[in-house]
Chain A
Amino acid sequence: RGSCGPAPPCRGPALPAPSPGPARAVPPLRWQSTFSQSSFSQPGPTESDPGEGQVFLSESCVKRLLEIAEGSEFLRLQVEGGGCSGFQYKFSLDTVINPDDRQGQGGGARVVVDVDSLAFVKGSMVDFSQELIRSSFQVVSNPQAEKGCSCGTSFSVKF
């Protein structure tokens, strides 16, 4: 996988200060989100299937979302076919929840993934990574993903 450069400084007293150098950064605090079927405007939601999976949010992801989401906006993560390696992540700010969406909350931030995309990203973590080349939401440590492209947007799937 392409290198991401030095990690942003981690916040929170529980973590040691990151050491400089080429070693992998200390992972940031995670906010675990449990996924449940949308209970927004849909009457009578059924229990979500725990086998559908869940996605974790990093502390920097939550922080960034709290900064930028206005009103009822949430972060939507979708997986599309295409991209250098076959599948690619697409992030957007959305306000509409659909019946086949699954959502997770943590620390006041919301992330929504449709059930088809969730199959590709379950067990992953969404991070907001700040680097010299760009600052962006990224999906990191996706257990389904095999090799990816060097910009981190595209991935192929382990079969």
Chain B
Amino acid sequence: MLVRAVTGPTARRLCRSRRGAAAACFPLCRALLGVRGADAAVFLQGLLTNDVTPLAEPGAASSALYAHALNAHGRCLYDVMLYRLPGEEPHILLECDSSALDPLQRHLKLYKIRRKVDITPCPDLSLWAVLPGDSSLPKSAGQAVLLAPDPRTELMGCRLITKKGADPSEIIPGSEVGNVQDYHRHRYKQGIPEGVKDLPPGVALPLESNLAFLNGISFTKGCYIGQELTARTHHMGVIRKRLLPVCLSAPLPPQGIPEGAEIQTEAGKPAGKFRAGGGDLGIALLRLAHVNEPLCITLGGDKVKLSASTPEWWPKTAAK
């Protein structure tokens, strides 16, 4: 399934999160775990949804990969971004939600057995998301440890890894450090899930989480944990629900919307469940049949109205 490319000017228009033309660097609440050793790529290949072999070659340092680690029942556990550090010996960095660092490390160590890999966190590195302004982003890392386009979609700009304490506005000329809440608003507006709140471990399903649209899964690689259900759903099943961006109407409940809150159509038919969000934006698991209808959530005695939209970056054949 081809994702229609969202090219330069459109991407920049959709990316602009602040007024003004500067690129914005957002400090992310994500941790980095290093997997180093001769067996690094082979080891990860059996544990992640995407094909890791492009990272097995030295010289892959300018590209990143997106993938999920699933459990044996095919449910998402951790969403990760993979980067390869320069060098002959494979040294792959996994980016994950900060709260998932310890569970992910235990998960990898459980399946390591005798493989020649070392798994160690990298607390001396910082991770940034860079959304472009009016000018395009530099192609090479310069002073940074690594700079790579976000593999999920062009709308997410780039990922930047620096030494802890470095100022990204010095590394990316003309950029400014932004407020990470703006980054999250941008994500929710586009309907791009990230982290354990959007993808609760053991609950979220990879294909419903749009993993295929986000270039995070290969259907032609060998076995990995959770592959059976995922491959079977892809080849034989129909995906009736997906994560979609939603916009809540005022007045917003002061305590926010709880995860799992039932969403209904105006006629009271079940339409899905709220996942996570902030302010008036969020992401919800919705039945595709009801995407274009007015929706609501009942909280206590109040009804909160919301509407969903099909993201522009989905392939045009997606709304099935």
Which A residues fall within an 8 A CB radius of B?
78-88, 114, 116-117, 120, 147, 149-150, 153-154, 156
Contacts and interface: CB of A to CB of B under 8 A. Distances in A.
Given A80-B113, A86-B72, A154 B43 contact: no
B114 A154 contact: no
B298 to A, nearest CB: 38
A109 B110 CA distance: 32
Contacts of B225: 82-86
A117 B111 CA distance: 11
Q: How large is the interface on B (under 10, 10 to 19, 20 to 34, 35 or more residues)?
A: 10 to 19
Contacts of A86: 72, 111, 225
Interface centre among A78, A84, A116 (most CB of B within 10 A): A84
Nearest to A151: B223
Classify the interface of chain B: helix, strand, loop or mixed: loop
A149 B224 contact: no
Contact of A85 (B43, B45, B72): B72
A54 B45 CA distance: 30
Interface of B: 43, 45-47, 72, 110-115, 223-228
A87 B227 CA distance: 13
Classify the interface of chain A: helix, strand, loop or mixed: strand
Contacts of A153: 223
B176 to A, nearest CB: 43
B46 A81 contact: yes
Nearest to B229: A84
B283 to A, nearest CB: 29
Contacts of A87: 111, 113
B110 A84 contact: no
Nearest to A146: B72
Contacts of B224: 82-84
B113 A147 contact: no
16 contacts: A81-B43, A81-B46, A81-B111, A81-B113, A81-B115, A82-B225, A83-B223, A84-B72, A84-B223, A85-B228, A87-B111, A87-B113, A88-B46, A114-B114, A149-B228, A154-B223
